[in-house]
Amino acid sequence: MPTTALAILARPSLEAPPHAGPAPFALVDPLSPQLSALDLAATRGDGVFETISVGGGRPQALEPHLRRFARSASALDLPAPDPEVWRAAILAVIAAIDPAREASVKTVLSRGVEGDGRPTGWAFASVSPDHAHARTHGVRAVTLDRGYRHDVERTSPWLLAGAKTLSYAVHRAALREAARRGADDAVFVSSDGYVLEGPTSSVVYRRGERLLTPGTGLGILEGTTQGSLFAFAAERGMETGYELITPAELAASDAVWLVSSVRHAAPVRELDGSALRTDPVLTAAMNDYLARRLD
């Protein structure tokens, strides 16, 4: 069986006319051309996406991902994705790839070809790379100024802070800058000095028996993996919460992680060149939980 699979949706939203074809989606050759060069996903990054981890052949946190997918689409005034057809397409591409311990599915909804009025949608499954080293040995991170105040979501909603859009050039540039500084990853900080998120991850930290993450309403993505870890913490009797935190306060935490759907929980062992405390036992428990989670 292949290591990748691609489904093109004939009608990604019930609010827009369908593309040709009686079936709600079709499995196609991932190596053959499928996207029009005039699609706004390609020309302007005008769309949204989700990346869903797959463990043992099962999508993890699928419903939270679908809900966030819909919220991002709403923020861009895109037609609402039809959850039933997206759920079916996701399960189909998972079933079409070679069974693997870990894989992922990327779902994309774009505005489509300009002027056509029909969105484009696809789901792409692939076997995941091995993230064992990052999970066990940790990552080095640097803080980078995002250029927005922490209240940008309220003051400037048109900047789409907090929506998972296809416009990822800034995120990739941040990772390249982190590499230039000798680090593996980055932590965005608001222009007024508060920790936000990573380019592709949420920030989670431990202070005593509390598991915390930067506060809501900061123009950051609502983390599905962070939400799973709060459920994990609750099962262990730990308190959870949200708060505004500065980089100095983050560095003084008992442990810090960058968490995401595919890499799971990567402990931050160094921030801006200074060593941080880590918690290998809790990290291992977190990643074991994330490997087994469903919704």
Going by their DSSP bridges, the two strands 239-243 and 255-260 should be labelled as: unpaired
pLDDT of residue 123: 98
**Hey, where are the domains in the chain?**
4-127, 132-292
* Fold (topology level) of 132-292: D-amino Acid Aminotransferase; Chain A, domain 2 (3.20.10)
Phi-psi sector, 287: left (phi>0), alpha (psi -120 to 50), beta: alpha
In 3-state terms, the chain is what percent helix, strand and coil (to 5)? 30, 30, 40
How many angstroms separate the CA atoms of 172 and 241, rounded? 29
How many angstroms separate the CA atoms of 129 and 147, rounded? 32
Q: What are phi and psi of 85, to 5 degrees?
A: -75, -35
pLDDT of residue 293: 82
Computed over every residue of the chain, the mean pLDDT equals 96
pLDDT of residue 95: 97
pLDDT of residue 78: 97
Is the Cα dihedral 46, 47, 50, 51 positive or negative?
negative
* Fold (topology level) of 4-127: D-amino Acid Aminotransferase; Chain A, domain 1 (3.30.470)
How many angstroms separate the CA atoms of 229 and 64, rounded? 13
Task: Report the Cα–Cα distance between both ends of the chain, in Å, rounded.
Answer: 27
- Please indicate, yes or no, whether the overall pTM of this predicted structure exceeds 0.85: yes
pLDDT of residue 295: 62
How many angstroms separate the CA atoms of 147 and 162, rounded? 15
pLDDT of residue 200: 96
Query: From first to last of its 295 residues, what are the pLDDT tens digits of the chain?
Result: 799 999 999 999 999 999 987 899 999 999 999 999 999 999 999 999 999 999 989 999 999 999 999 999 999 999 999 999 999 999 999 999 998 899 999 999 999 999 999 999 999 999 999 999 999 999 999 999 999 999 999 999 999 998 999 999 999 999 999 999 999 999 999 999 999 999 999 999 999 999 999 988 899 999 999 999 999 999 999 999 999 999 999 999 999 999 999 999 999 999 999 999 999 999 999 999 999 887 6
Q: What are phi and psi of 248, to 5 degrees?
A: -65, -40
Cite the beta strand spans of 29-87 per DSSP E. Answer: 47-55, 58-59
- Give the CB-side neighbour count of residue 81, counting CA atoms within 13 A: 33
